[in-house]
């Protein structure tokens, strides 16, 4: 969660960065303190409506993420374990424990609020590099090409294959491809951009 918060703060700072540049350039253009103050106040008044809209959008996203977490807390409580315990078992490759959890007839394709990534169970298995866990989830009905839901920081539509790619998990990539995962151009572009050469070679020409 700390990393997610840092990501959000980073994104927010990027949104405000152009305005800071404008203010900085304007302050250089005027040599006297009075003129700097006047320019700053004028720019602040001009930009305030935009800054207010950004803040409102951020508040709305935070409210949606909180609501999703609360909804999932209630959902998993009915099955006798928490969402965090479910994801931790997946990431730890605890096949027997996850299998027992799935025996409760919970929705294997439910969007999870853990880490605010909008992932499903198979996304976490793919990003952790656990082939047997991926197989278990697929056998239990997990959607191999399901896209993640949108969260405050992460865009929607990221597939389990993409989760494996951005985590540089070549074993997951190979296994998902063998099971018919659809390759998107974004998958290849990310691997190539980040020098994941082996994965990029696997994906090249398949999208």
**14 CB burial (10 A radius; 0-12, 13-18, 19+):** exposed
Report whether pLDDT(24) > 90. Answer: no
**Shortest CA distance to 89 belongs to which of 114, 52, 53, 62?**
114
Q: Which residue has the higher pLDDT, 17 or 55?
A: 55
**174 CB burial (10 A radius; 0-12, 13-18, 19+):** middle
**Shortest CA distance to 161 belongs to which of 170, 153, 151, 149?**
170
**10 CB burial (10 A radius; 0-12, 13-18, 19+):** exposed
Q: What does the angle CA 100 – CA 105 – CA 109 come to, to the nearest 5 degrees?
A: 100
Report whether pLDDT(2) > 90. Answer: no
φ, ψ for residue 204, nearest 5 deg: -60, 125
State the SS3 of 129-145.
Answer: CCHHHHHHHHHCCCCCC
Query: What would the pLDDT profile of 115-125 be if each residue is shown by its tens digit?
Result: 878 899 999 99
Mean pLDDT within 102-116: 91
Mean pLDDT within 153-169: 90
Note whether 150 and 118 are within 8 A (CB): yes
88: CB partners within 8 A, 6+ apart: none
Report whether pLDDT(28) > 70. Answer: no
In the chain, what are the domains?
1-78 (no CATH), 81-207 (1.25.40.20)
Distance set, CA 105 to CA 88, 102, 108, 140, 160 (Å): 19, 6, 8, 10, 22
pLDDT confidence band for 1 (50 / 70 / 90) = very low
Mean pLDDT within 18-32: 53
């Amino acid at each position: 969660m700390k990393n997610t918060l840092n990501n959000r703060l980073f994104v927010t700072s990027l949104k405000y960065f152009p305005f800071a540049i404008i203010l900085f350039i304007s302050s250089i253009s005027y040599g006297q303190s009075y003129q700097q103050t006047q320019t700053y106040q004028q720019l602040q008044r001009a930009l305030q409506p935009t800054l207010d809209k950004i803040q409102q959008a951020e508040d709305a996203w935070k409210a949606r993420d909180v609501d999703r977490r609360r909804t999932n807390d209630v959902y998993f409580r009915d099955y006798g374990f928490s969402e965090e315990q479910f994801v931790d078992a997946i990431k730890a490759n605890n096949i027997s424990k996850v299998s027992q959890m799935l025996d409760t007839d919970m929705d294997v394709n439910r969007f999870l609020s853990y880490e605010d990534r909008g992932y499903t169970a198979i996304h976490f298995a793919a990003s952790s590099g656990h082939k047997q866990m991926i197989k278990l989830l697929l056998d239990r009905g997990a959607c191999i090409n399901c896209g993640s839901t949108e969260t405050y920081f992460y865009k929607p539509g990221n597939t389990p294959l993409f989760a494996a790619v951005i985590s540089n998990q070549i074993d997951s990539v190979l296994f998902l491809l063998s099971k018919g995962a659809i390759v998107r151009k974004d998958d290849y572009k990310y691997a190539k951009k980040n020098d994941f050469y082996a994965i990029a070679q696997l994906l090249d020409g398949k999208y």
